[in-house]
Amino acid sequence: MQQPTSRRQVIAAAAGTAAAIGVTGPKATAAPPSAASPPSPLSASSSPATTAAVRARAASLLNRLSLEQKVGQLFVVEVYGRTADTEHAKNRDLYGVSTPAEVITKYRPGGVIYFDSRRGPDNVREPRQIARLSNGLQRAALRGGAHVPLLVSIDQEGGSVVYRMLEPATQLPGNMALAATRSARDVYESADIIGTELTALGINQNYAPVADVNINPANPIIGVRSFGSDSRLCADFVSAAVRGYHHGGVASAGKHFPGHGDTDIDSHTGLPKITHTREELDRIDLPPFRAAIRRGVDTIMTAHIVVPSLDASLVPATMSRPIVTGLLREELGFEGVIATDALDMGGATADFPPDVAPVRAFQAGCDQLVLAPKLDTAFAAVLSAVRTGKISRERLDASVTRILEHKLRRRLFPYPYVSEQRAARVVGSRRHRSRARAITERSVTLIRNERGALPLTGAPREILVTGWGTAPLAALARAVGERRGQSATILETGLAPNAAKIAEAVSAAREHEVTIVLANAAAAPTDKGAAQAALIQALHATHTRLVVAAVRNPYDIQRYPDIPAYLATYSYGAPSMASLADTLYGDLNPSGRLPVAIAALNDPNRTLYRFGHGLRYARH
């Protein structure tokens, strides 16, 4: 059966693609055996007696909260600094106070979210420091008022796109790489490792897994963050990930509802429109969210996307009552916490100023307001809306109760602290790194291998390692150079190599026996990888031995379909580069299979490589 490759073909046939290529039954979709992974005591599912006790306790806590404290519970804020008592100018700019602890004391927010230094807050450097920060913020939350602990959250999806913690935290290869293994066990174990390490750090809410079905190769924001283009595969693996996070002790969050997989606009900077019909949404986008709800996902995060078939008013889903309350809460029956995507993103701020966005999102049915800009303004706007009756007291109480119940199920009362010493032992443990290495090895996908270009023999040779990425090039060169008789030279050409850089690479390739190129078109949104493709085509014309590895989206081969050897790693972390090196030399026989189809660049109806494609080396 011909597999769909264009976006519209995928839309037309999404429901049956997995079955059509034989991705059925326990091998591809079964959840990990329960005997090997007993239910976590922190699982979202509870007995009726436990549920009743949680509800009674939440009602009691609610009665102790003032109106201002209830409003505070709705907000998730960022803080700047590595400790609760770190003074930082950005805290003063945003909140009028100096330290993270003072931010918590001033607003009594329901949660905080950690970021690394790339965004600015610089919250996550090393295990003891992170655990100390978590403990300090919890102390600040419990010192006054109703003594409600914090949801301490993070975006740690795995992979190389959305992550906050580098080593010593265990580095996992990410969702699309996991889907390439076709192993629900690998998905579960990856989430379990991440969850276990986050829990040890005092982080109790992970905004993962991504539940979007990536059917648009031009998607600038999802891509490898998705498990792939097949709804069934995504649903099964989202379910396995939720279970893994729960077993690791951390709350899970499916995102981005109702589905961000078919867009070519980044909602961080613009407002995408999803043109799927309701029937297409039911077949393509909603199955992973339904699976997450069945598995007991704690939180679902909304998307800043317009979906006309669900709401003709053309407001973002985050602000849409028909989508948030009508579809998610009432039709799909989700009873957990609904969180907004960051309200400081372009998709939210373009038409909704700081005093409007949080009120509209809350009126739509969201419970948690994440990263609302100008917090004084946002807080005052919600408080005023309640006092004037624009938001009813009953509606406010319903959301705060859900948040309190969530914290009770996470067992944050009465002692939400963690051991700094244990954090250092758990994070990046030898066992975790060993499990992660095995998972990563199973994800590498060999897509093209003409005339026995691979594997490379162990004969002494000089290798040119070139293309995109300072760190991944160094990691790959190091892994190659550690082999007996192999010498690796690095030549970084960057995001969009110019003619001079291409000429330099061509000259260097002629002086080496093998050239390995790392490609990442998604990192070059301006020309969509055209300059990287020109580099690769020029190297191909030298007739020297050429190998290209896509270290993010596997679609990059569309621009150079005739190269002799092409692999996909879906990630450019050091573990992925080590696995790539082992695959290049045949120490690993590649077993990954494409979680997406790859169509021709100028003819989306022509298949280059079908969903499920993956080559192996012949063994003699």
CB 542 within 8 A of CB 511: no
H or E stretch at 95: helix 89-95
Give the tokens for residue 366: 């969201």
Strand order in the sheet with 299-302: 253-257, 299-302, 337-339
- Among the listed residues 341, 367, 556, 582, the single catalytic one is 341
How far apart CA 487 and CA 197 sit, in angstroms, is: 37
H or E stretch at 143: none
How far apart CA 71 and CA 334 sit, in angstroms, is: 22
How far apart CA 529 and CA 537 sit, in angstroms, is: 12
How far apart CA 284 and CA 484 sit, in angstroms, is: 49
Residue type, 419: S
How far apart CA 149 and CA 473 sit, in angstroms, is: 43
In this structure, the dihedral spanned by the alpha carbons of residues 553, 556, 561 and 566, taken in order and rounded to 10 degrees, is -50
> Helix 357-364 crosses helix 375-387 at what angle (to 10 degrees)?
50
Cis bond upstream, residue 127 (ω within 30): no
How many angstroms separate the Cα of 565 from the Cα of each of 323, 548, 611? 45, 6, 19
How far apart CA 97 and CA 101 sit, in angstroms, is: 9
How far apart CA 443 and CA 173 sit, in angstroms, is: 8
How far apart CA 27 and CA 288 sit, in angstroms, is: 19
CA atoms within 13 A on the CB side of 577: 23
Give the tokens for residue 499: 């003619």
- CA dihedral sign, ordered 123, 200, 245, 57: negative
Question: E strands, 438-539, where?
Answer: 445-449, 461-467, 486-492, 514-519
How many angstroms separate the Cα of 440 from the Cα of each of 124, 481, 587, 594? 24, 21, 14, 15
Q: Is 341 a catalytic residue?
A: yes
How far apart CA 213 and CA 314 sit, in angstroms, is: 22
Residue 328 main-chain phi, psi, to 5 deg: -75, -50
The conformation of residue 556, written as its DSSP 8-state character, comes to G
Radius of gyration of the CA atoms of the chain, in A:
24
Measure the CA angle with vertex 339, ends 337 and 341; round to 5°.
Answer: 160
Measure the CA angle with vertex 88, ends 83 and 92; round to 5°.
Answer: 125
Beta bridge partners of 151: 111
Query: Which are the catalytic amino acids?
Result: 341
